[in-house]
Amino acid sequence: MANVLIIDDDQPTCDALMELVRNIGHTADFALTAGDGVTKAEHGDFDVVFLDVRLPDANGLSILPTLRQRQLPPEVIILTGLGDPDGAELAIRNGAWDYLQKPLSPKEILLPLQRVLKYRDTLRHHAKLPDTFDRCGIAGTSAVITKALEKVASAARSDAGVLISGETGTGKELFAKALHNNSHRSSGPFIVVDCAAIPATLLESTLFGHVKGAFTGADRASEGLVLKANKGTLFLDEIGEMSLDLQKRLLRVLQERRYRPVGAGYEEQSDFRLVAATHRNLGKMVDEGNFRQDLLYRLGAMVIELPPLRDRQEDIAKLAESITSRICKKYGIPPKKLNCEVIDAFRAYEWPGNVRELGNVLESSIAAAYEMPELYVHSLPEQLRIRMLKKSISKDGNAHACCRDEPSAAEIDAAIQTDGEMLPYKSFRQEVIAKAEQRYFARLFEVCDGDIKRASQVSGLGKSRLYSQLKKYGLEKD
């Protein structure tokens, strides 16, 4: 028996859908707003959600990612009174099962519902990663990373081309390695080609090899990386940087598994599985004429989208601990504990460089705290600490309250009243601002290690003003 949620602002529609669902032996609930729908979805174990686009407090599509965040998320069927191709595309990209246009007959509702429930039955038996699955060091248990790993496990069962997309630093090569290690080609070679790092004039011969004398500097023959990948996996990182001419050659190789080395009068064969990766929008590049559409079709038989680190908040602690352990082992030093303030700081940061940036930060921090058994915020790179501090400061120069510095109800009451008497607003305001400023300058000098010059640059205040504030709040240095 399945559990179905209907999110629609029209009560008769909700009643009709609930009756339809119950008549075929399932349970149903409803919500008339997006907010109520999200709340019910978070506290209930729903298999299917019927989601209206036009809700009184939000566009239904805006809550679709939230509804799909669970470990085994409900399948979402979008309902709309207006046909919108862009909306349909957005819905599918965000994981919607189907996109139905009102008005709907019972048959038009039952058919997709029965299909999705059959799919859910199959999914419950096969959703978990195999016990033998090799994660290749990929840490995290969030819904988004689990979904990506499940796609890797699924892709590993075939030889179809795979495109891995994601921002720079999200771990595309690591996922490609996991795909290789879990496939039937795991005993074969895993060959990595960084298309962005190799000059365009050399990429062709790097891939396909060349004969001696094929071009200036070719003093000996080279077999090329495509041949080295025979019986294994060829990983083309940043394939969006490849020239159109080379894209054409690659397409022919994928179709025929034969190619001619540069300057050769003969052809070679190679049985390899292609996995490509990019941080760019290849669909947009096709529209602009910078990427071949037929190659995109060939690459995109299976697509794995990797989430940015800022969307994996619940994974940051485990990731940081895993990376720290690996770095300590690399340098032959005892494992370091991560102070809770370090984890809080990592969770507050947006990580534009994603997992790669986190690794770089931890490596430099561990080097700075080489002899220390525990890693503190003080050991983090200066520029990172400055960016984190700047983020915590509002545009008018006041500090945003951090969790541990937010005034308690008792503190606010104490500022409002003295000896049971209400303070005038002006006095209350001055007292609250003074406390906030004292916390700000104490934190500023902690982050800047007491360096007046750096503190002046970060705060935007002159040195004389800083000295004045130090004296005012009893923070001056001896």
Q: Average of pLDDT values for 26-30? A: 92
Q: What is the pLDDT of residues 316-356, one digit of tens each?
A: 999 999 999 999 999 999 999 998 888 888 988 889 999 99
Q: Which residue has the higher pLDDT, 367 or 469?
A: 367
Instruction: Assign 395 a pLDDT band (cuts: 50, 70, 90).
Output: very low
- % of the chain surpassing 90 pLDDT: 45
DSSP H or E segment with residue 41: helix 34-43
Look at residue 470 in the predicted model and tell me its pLDDT: 78
Q: Average of pLDDT values for 442-468? A: 77
Which two structure tokens, joined as six digits, stand for 190? 């895993």
pTM over 0.75: no
From 264, 268, 250, 255, select the one nearest 195 (Cα to Cα). 250
Q: What is the pLDDT of residues 91-136, one digit of tens each?
A: 777 778 888 888 888 888 888 888 888 888 776 655 567 778 999 9
| CA 113/CA 49 separation, integer angstroms | 10
3-126 and 395-478: same fold? no
Q: What is the pLDDT of residues 428-451, one digit of tens each?
A: 677 777 778 888 888 787 777 777
Q: What is the pLDDT of residues 245-258, one digit of tens each?
A: 999 999 999 988 89
Which two structure tokens, joined as six digits, stand for 221? 């023959």
pLDDT(374) > 70: yes
pLDDT(384) > 50: yes
Which two structure tokens, joined as six digits, stand for 109? 């509702």
From 404, 399, 337, select the one nearest 365 (Cα to Cα). 337
Give the fold, CATH level 3, of 143-307.
Rossmann fold (3.40.50)
CATH of 395-478, one of 3.60.21, 2.60.40, 1.10.3470, 1.10.10: 1.10.10
Domain with residues 309-380, CATH architecture:
Orthogonal Bundle (1.10)
Q: Average of pLDDT values for 152-159? A: 91
Give the residue extent of every domain in the chain.
3-126, 143-307, 309-380, 395-478
Rounded to 5 degrees, φ, ψ at 158 are -130, 180
CA 427 to chain centre: 47
pLDDT(403) > 60: no
Look at residue 394 in the predicted model and tell me its pLDDT: 43
- % of the chain surpassing 70 pLDDT: 88
How is residue 231 annotated by DSSP?
Answer: T
Q: What is the pLDDT of residues 408-417, one digit of tens each?
A: 555 555 656 5
Task: List Cα–Cα distances, 74 to 62, 264, 376, in angstroms.
Answer: 16, 55, 40
Residue position matching structure tokens 């510095």: 405
Look at residue 42 in the predicted model and tell me its pLDDT: 85
| CA 187/CA 190 separation, integer angstroms | 9
How is residue 242 annotated by DSSP?
Answer: S
Q: Average of pLDDT values for 199-222? A: 90
Look at residue 426 in the predicted model and tell me its pLDDT: 67
How is residue 71 annotated by DSSP?
Answer: S
CATH code for the domain defined by 3-126: 3.40.50.2300
Q: Average of pLDDT values for 267-276? A: 95
Which two structure tokens, joined as six digits, stand for 214? 């094929």
Look at residue 398 in the predicted model and tell me its pLDDT: 46
Looking at every residue in the chain, the average pLDDT score rounds to 85
pLDDT(201) > 80: yes
Taking the CA atoms of 344, 347, 351 and 357 in sequence, report the sign of the dihedral they define. Answer: positive
DSSP H or E segment with residue 414: helix 409-416
Look at residue 76 in the predicted model and tell me its pLDDT: 92
pLDDT(197) > 90: yes
Gyration radius from the chain CA atoms: 29
DSSP H or E segment with residue 114: helix 106-126
Q: What is the pLDDT of residues 277-306, one digit of tens each?
A: 999 999 899 999 999 999 998 887 789 999
Look at residue 401 in the predicted model and tell me its pLDDT: 40
Look at residue 432 in the predicted model and tell me its pLDDT: 75
